[in-house]
Amino acid sequence: MATDRTTNRDRTRVVITGWGMVTPLGLDATTTWEGLLAGRSGIGPITQVEAGDLPVQIAGEVKGFDAAQHLPYKVVRRTDPYARYALVAAQEALKHSKLVIDESNADRVGVLMGSGYGPMKSIADHVRDLDAKGPRAVSPLAAVTGAIDSAPGEISMATGARGPSRAVSSACASGTDAIGEATRWIRTGASDVVIAGGADDIVTRVDIAGSGNARALSGRPGDPTEASRPFDEDRAGFVMAAGSGVVILESAEHALARGAQILAEVVGYGASSDAYHWTAPHPEGVSARRAMREALHDAGLAPGDVGYVNAHGTGTQLNDKSELNSLRAVFGTHIESIPVSSTKSMTGHMIGAAGAVEAIIGALVINEGSVPPTVNCERPIDPSVNFVAHTAQAHDVDVVMSNSFGFGGHNAVIVIRRWAA
């Protein structure tokens, strides 16, 4: 039963009218969604960097992406892969929304993109050039290519969006925070439309080595597609991945005035910090629980209204246990009556892109009536919870919660609801 929404009724409603994705499962939203429902994994051996001497040799790479097929040469030349993925996902989202940005609305269209690490591949390239060949070998575009705000900058220039544009970085919570903060932009009247989401590509030698040495990554031997095992007793770490997810957010008034198809409504957002440890979640999940409760309060909903949780579900020993305990604390026994799945079991962990992609997945669940599975969940850590093991399930869902918890104790949660005028 929903709680009193009196305080929420008069505020600006924020809706999703389009989305785009570039992931290890596909170069667009449709292909990615089909892969998820089929239980297909995008995880395999690392091919884009030399990995033979790294502590882990598997990742969720974006495969078959030819930037030249999507972007002008000058844009490709000055962008890191993470920004290219963001720009292509944004272009798909705009096309999906049928939004035209022109002189009549450009000043009211903002861009907010999240990234945990930004252009790590390009920064590494610039450092190698400097060390090997000297200062004159460093590209004059290095300051652009190596900036974490390059993705929102490129999207703004490519689309003509002249509202506020910036980057947000909160580790693995970045994509969710970007959508949540963009929702606030629209609620407060700063923008009518925001192109929002997240992107990352840190399948690099430095990042795989560092995360592998920290024992955060799954080094499970054998089939790479079985390495990501959220909520399984045999989980051994997350799998690094790359990608992007972008949504078009609009005020409901703006969307209805232009006759847009409304795909879902963003009704709640909550964020908090653990103030505890750089890599480990708080053992009691106190702040993660607060973020969930604040998102529900913002939505004017009770835990019993939620019909599906897209869990952060990284597959690490500490995260999955802490998240499940937090879900039980917030939802009580209701958590045993709804599906809870981690799509990272198939995509790997796309860091700053993860929350944005998973928010889109939540909206797709509402629209399509199917919940993607948690593959590799052979021995669930709690058999009383429906982790949607192995195979997608049909569920009629009106409300979705999507969780994102990042290194540094960043917690971000959004609640998405079926649109009802």
User: Residue 141 contacts by C-beta under 8 Å, 6 or more apart in sequence?
Assistant: 77, 78
Burial class (CB in 10 A: 0-12, 13-18, 19+), 382: middle
Alpha-carbon dihedral of residues 205, 211, 212, 215, nearest 10 degrees?
180
- Known catalytic residue at 377: no
Burial class (CB in 10 A: 0-12, 13-18, 19+), 259: exposed
Runs of H (alpha helix) within 285-331: 286-299, 317-331
Task: Give how far Cα 215 sits from Cα of 181, 192, 208, 279, 291, Å.
Answer: 32, 44, 10, 11, 27
CB-based contact 268:376 (threshold 8 Å): no
Phi first, then psi, for residue 188 (nearest 5°) are -90, -5
CB-based contact 153:82 (threshold 8 Å): no
Beta bridge partners, 222, equal none
How far apart CA 145 and CA 338 sit, in angstroms, is: 44
Q: Map tokens 């495969």 to a residue.
A: 63
User: Residue 114 contacts by C-beta under 8 Å, 6 or more apart in sequence?
Assistant: 167, 168, 169, 170, 173, 174, 175, 176, 177, 178, 197, 198, 199, 352, 355, 356
**Most distant CA atoms of the chain, gap in Å:** 66
Q: Which residue among the candidates 36, 99, 172, 414 is catalytic per the annotation?
A: 172
- With residue 404 as reference, give the H or E element that holds it: strand 399-406
CB-based contact 352:172 (threshold 8 Å): yes
What is the DSSP-derived secondary structure letter of residue 271? E
Task: Estimate to the nearest angstrom the gap between the alpha carbon of 195 and the chain centroid.
Answer: 14
Q: What amino acid positions are annotated as catalytic residues?
A: 172
